[in-house]
Structure 1
Amino acid sequence: MSYQPETSYDAEHKIWSGPVERFHFAPDLSIGEIIFHEMRRHPKQVAQVSATEHTLLTRSELHQNSMRVASYMRQIGLRQSDIVGIMARNSTHIAAVAYACFFNGIAFHALHVVYEKDTIRKLFSITAPKIIFCDGDEYEKLKEATASLNTQIVTMRNHPPGVTKIEDLLNTPIEPNFEPARLEQGVQQTLAILCSSGTTGTPKAVTITNSQKMINSSNLLTTADVQYSHSTFDWLSGLGALVTSGVFSTKRIIADNTFDPAILLRIIEEYKVTWLLQPPSHMAMLVNCPEFEEADLSSLRYYLYGGGRCSVEVQETVRSRLDHDCLHFSYGCTELGTIATMNRNYDAKPNSVGRLLPGFKIKILNDEGKALGPDEVGEVCVTNGQYWAGYYGNPEESHKIRDANLWFHTGDLGYMDEDGFLFIVERKKEMLKYQNIIYYPNEVEEVIAKMPGVSEVCVFGVWNQFNGDEAAAAVVKKFGADFHAQDVVDYVADHVDAKYKQLNAGAIIMDDLARSANGKTNRNATKAYFLEAKDRS
């Protein structure tokens, strides 16, 4: 089969380019200004429905609530150089908090609610938010973690006694003649800050640029669309759903529960969801749900997924239940602020993450930094040509991931085929994802290394279609030490609160770890030995 050259290839420099980018709004408008004005165009239209809290907000009501929270932020003296913290689920009023930040030109730093106290302390110490919005469920943990910061905490749900509630802020009078702020740094200013971790385990705060590139991949959305993403604002997918709903005047369905595939299927049927964005782990849970085969998915016209591996079996099972050919695998990274590729040709290119979207370029580099041609595997490097503020307060790590020519070195190994389709083979970097929460092997290794009798340890991820990368450990005992593999699993359970850092794939005792020629631990070879031993048992 031949393909039209939607992705062009420069054979001399070995660079692939997507189509020319077109913007739908004036280029100097911020995301906050666009949303502010678009929300006034359809005041009676339903903006948001909470399927779990059973609330409904029209665009006018959400607009008013957002201006009230923004007015409160202005009253307490927040400036565009300040940071707002968010650590909350998708409850009724969290969108108003985010839009208020957009209207004021203030970036928010979003953390996932499952983070343990030490991770919260490290992350918020980077950005030092002046005010943090959190669920009451996490209030005590957050309060202890931010004790050294002079910050106000506002709860979004399940309010502890005596704590400022979001409802208190919603009583704030709207500032007379309220208008969204013009950005002091223009559209190069940071819109939001999400979370990642470095290869050393040191947390990083990823800035997201206030760019219309975020909305260009969703420009087919209309006022007739009903969007759903279970992701919270600390994920790029959650932030993207929030922004595109505001810009394109869609109805956004939210839920503040732990992900449950049966509830999702009920939401799709009841609200006639047309646009769904999921990580592969949720897709796997969906197809293994007893209700899946009988669910009515006929309303879906965009089913987007990405952020990790997805088995062909899961993809084909989902496709077999869809009335439209609307299942699209996508690829990007948080630092880009949006997705870079999308596969709209599944039948011809299964497991490809697709072709480049407008405004993006890709090159594939070998270990010596030489550009490779079609079908050659190397590190995937992407550029969108736009300004990026880097990791907040961390220029050294910023320069490691993005070079002087504005190329992001993703750490993913992959190749481009002759038709301009990108295939991701594996991760070059050691980052792991458990239920879409990022962590690194050394974070677990540091815990196990403190276990009495441990000489050496190597932690790696074992892929599970439901959870993603489950941590496993290979351990070498000190001479004379007496413990078993299960003791290592139990030790981590006793010393780590976070579920995603448990040894969910188990442990093994080895006489020595697999090593490379220079004597360094070979993580991949050690993992291969673990998997082989597991198959034999």
Structure 2
Amino acid sequence: MYEITKPKLIFCDKEQYNKIVEATKGWSPEVYTISEPLEGKPSIQSLLEPTTTEKFYHPEPLKAGSDQTVAILCSSGTTGMPKAVCISNSVLMQDNLFVNSETIYFLQSGLDWISGLWAFMFCVVFGSTRILSNKPFSPENIVQLIQKYKINYITMAPSQMAALASCPKATQSALSSLRNLNYGGSIASDVTLKRLRELCPNATFNSAYAMTELGLITLNAGVQKASAAGKPMPGMTIRIVDENENSLGHNEIGEIYVSSAIKWNGYYGNPTATMEILDPEGWIHTGDLGYFSDDNLLHVVDRKKEVLKYKGIHFWPTEIENVIRELPQVRDVCVVGVPVEAIMDAAAALVVKVPGSDISHDDIVSHVAKRLPTINKQLHGGVRFTEKLPFNNNGKVMRKAALELFMSLGGLTTNPE
């Protein structure tokens, strides 16, 4: 990423200083430490010292207006090498996320995700107060922060919501300050939503579908339908297309194409990758599969590249996960495809139980069989139980690591046919 963008100024923690200098020795940018000073090296503290020029400072004008690239964000790289995503001023300056100067905000994500970048801008533009924690995620820490700082606006991953919902310290009194609870990235189970609504009766729940390149695409305000990603945001046009790029109708699953009134400036220094996702007619090929229900709500099914096959018949791990999440004894789940000769992918579930639950392997397998009767969607690989799933720092399950964990726990629990 440094080779692509060649930044002139870099801020980093003290522990990363030598690594950063080595990675950028081809053009030698200025590198400042931010965690603590390093003897003889520039520190952010030196930039806080007053000079005689502050009163003469004038911000650089946006010569291209709201379409101008004002930030470059590294994509997650879940479907290939990370790319440098150009973020326009219009995407960065979100003014429809229900924040103001009285908002006390918490988000686990850092600046490596668009949500973390937005949270930073909430403070700068709207005067919101953001609470930061250097501790890894735990529901106990979240409860403590909410109580201590009277947090009223929180954004979480569904997996984090599930952990909070089953945390003994999460009581209605402890969470009484919450007024907005947002989530995205995947679907929260009905069980989790019901429990959190009981704990936070004064909070509004919202979910969204977004991507780094375009920002918010849909919003499910109030979460009237838990499985839906919501309605398109103003300026967003969405198509569902088949493999031949024909538009599909309601309840037909295909790839989600998005056209935005906001101009996207592509991947910095990578016109080939830009052309692969942005077609000549201006449609962004999201790589996500979904459909519109009869009430015109978008439902996101899964990543196109995560589709699995049982004897040549497609199935989506997220669909099976959502069915398993219906069980109140399940706190979280990740479905993986175990490679099996002649079968291709045997669906298998890695499950985290609610503390104290006695749900069994057969309970889960039979529930999926009842709810998803087609042969390709059965748990041919069985179920393994674990205390926690492998998440990245932003609360997203790493499916490849989940498959490795499943196999390390003994692998297949049934004999796939």
TM range (shorter): 0.7 to 0.9
Matched, 1:505 2:369: no
Kindly indicate whether the alpha-carbon contact (under 8 Å) linking 1:217 and 1:339 is maintained by their aligned counterparts in 2.
no
Residue number in structure 1 paired with 2:218: 341
The alignment-based identity, stated in percent, is: 34
Greater mean alpha carbon deviation, residues 167-176 or residues 198-207: 198-207
Q: How does 1:130-141 map to 2 (within 5 A)?
A: 130-141=8-19
Q: 1:373 to 1:213 in 2, by over 3 A?
A: farther
Question: Which of 59, 75, 82 is the aligned partner of 1:196?
Answer: 75
Question: Which of 248, 251, 258 is the aligned partner of 2:136?
Answer: 258
List per-residue Cα deviations over 1:98-149 (Å, max 9, x = no partner): xxxxxxxxxxxxxxxxxxxxxxxxx111101111111123334333333434
Residue number in structure 2 paired with 1:392: 268
SS at match of 1:363: strand
Q: 1:151 to 1:416 in 2, by over 3 A?
A: same
Kindly indicate whether the alpha-carbon contact (under 8 Å) linking 2:187 and 2:226 is maintained by their aligned counterparts in 1.
no
TM-score of the aligned structures, taking structure 2 as reference length: 0.72
Q: 1:304 to 1:227 in 2, by over 3 A?
A: same
Please give the alpha-carbon distance, in whole angstroms, between the structure 2 residues aligned to 1:306 and 1:129. Answer: 31
Q: How does 1:98-247 map to 2 (within 5 A)?
A: 123-173=1-51, 174-196=53-75, 201-211=80-90, 214-218=93-97, 220-247=98-125
Please give the alpha-carbon distance, in whole angstroms, between the structure 2 residues aligned to 1:306 and 1:199. Answer: 17
> Which 5+ residue runs of structure 1 have no aligned equivalent?
1-122, 432-459, 477-497, 510-529
Partner amino acid, structure 2, of 1:279: A
Please give the alpha-carbon distance, in whole angstroms, between the structure 2 residues aligned to 1:309 and 1:163. Answer: 46
Matched, 1:404 2:280: yes
SS at match of 2:56: coil
Residue number in structure 2 paired with 1:112: none
Kindly indicate whether the alpha-carbon contact (under 8 Å) linking 2:36 and 2:43 is maintained by their aligned counterparts in 1.
no
Superposition deviation, residue 240 in structure 1: 0.9
Kindly indicate whether the alpha-carbon contact (under 8 Å) linking 1:135 and 1:159 is maintained by their aligned counterparts in 2.
no
Q: 1:415 to 1:176 in 2, by over 3 A?
A: same
Question: Which of 235, 241, 248 is the aligned partner of 1:372?
Answer: 248
Q: 1:252 to 1:198 in 2, by over 3 A?
A: closer
SS at match of 1:176: helix
Please give the alpha-carbon distance, in whole angstroms, between the structure 2 residues aligned to 1:158 and 1:470. Answer: 42
Superposition deviation, residue 474 in structure 1: 4.7
Residue number in structure 2 paired with 1:415: 291
Please give the alpha-carbon distance, in whole angstroms, between the structure 2 residues aligned to 1:278 and 1:171. Answer: 36
Residue number in structure 1 paired with 2:358: none
Q: 1:475 to 1:148 in 2, by over 3 A?
A: farther
Q: How does 1:272-283 map to 2 (within 5 A)?
A: 272-283=150-161
Superposition deviation, residue 221 in structure 1: 2.4
Superposition deviation, residue 253 in structure 1: 1.9
Please give the alpha-carbon distance, in whole angstroms, between the structure 2 residues aligned to 1:430 and 1:146. Answer: 35
Q: How does 1:13-24 map to 2 (within 5 A)?
A: none
Q: 1:135 to 1:469 in 2, by over 3 A?
A: farther
Superposition deviation, residue 309 in structure 1: 3.9
Superposition deviation, residue 293 in structure 1: 3.5
Partner amino acid, structure 1, of 2:200: L
Kindly indicate whether the alpha-carbon contact (under 8 Å) linking 1:222 and 1:250 is maintained by their aligned counterparts in 2.
yes
Superposition deviation, residue 355 in structure 1: 1.2
SS at match of 1:222: coil
Residue number in structure 1 paired with 2:385: none
> Which 5+ residue runs of structure 2 have no aligned equivalent?
308-316, 342-392
Residue number in structure 1 paired with 2:168: 290
Kindly indicate whether the alpha-carbon contact (under 8 Å) linking 2:91 and 2:262 is maintained by their aligned counterparts in 1.
no
SS at match of 1:315: helix
Question: Which of 184, 198, 201 is the aligned partner of 1:306?
Answer: 184
Please give the alpha-carbon distance, in whole angstroms, between the structure 1 residues aligned to 2:410 and 2:243. Answer: 27
Kindly indicate whether the alpha-carbon contact (under 8 Å) linking 1:275 and 1:300 is maintained by their aligned counterparts in 2.
yes
Residue number in structure 2 paired with 1:87: none
Kindly indicate whether the alpha-carbon contact (under 8 Å) linking 1:473 and 1:506 is maintained by their aligned counterparts in 2.
no
Higher relative contact order, structure no. (Cα contacts within 8 Å, ≥ 6 residues apart): 1
Please give the alpha-carbon distance, in whole angstroms, between the structure 1 residues aligned to 2:301 and 2:337. Answer: 21
Please give the alpha-carbon distance, in whole angstroms, between the structure 2 residues aligned to 1:189 and 1:403. Answer: 20
SS at match of 1:164: coil
Q: 1:165 to 1:382 in 2, by over 3 A?
A: same
Superposition deviation, residue 316 in structure 1: 2.6
List per-residue Cα deviations over 1:398-430 (Å, max 9, x = no partner): 111122222211111111112121111111034
TM-score of the aligned structures, taking structure 1 as reference length: 0.57
Superposition deviation, residue 251 in structure 1: 2.0
Please give the alpha-carbon distance, in whole angstroms, between the structure 1 residues aligned to 2:186 and 2:282. Answer: 24
Please give the alpha-carbon distance, in whole angstroms, between the structure 1 residues aligned to 2:192 and 2:141. Answer: 19
Greater mean alpha carbon deviation, residues 280-289 or residues 385-394: 280-289
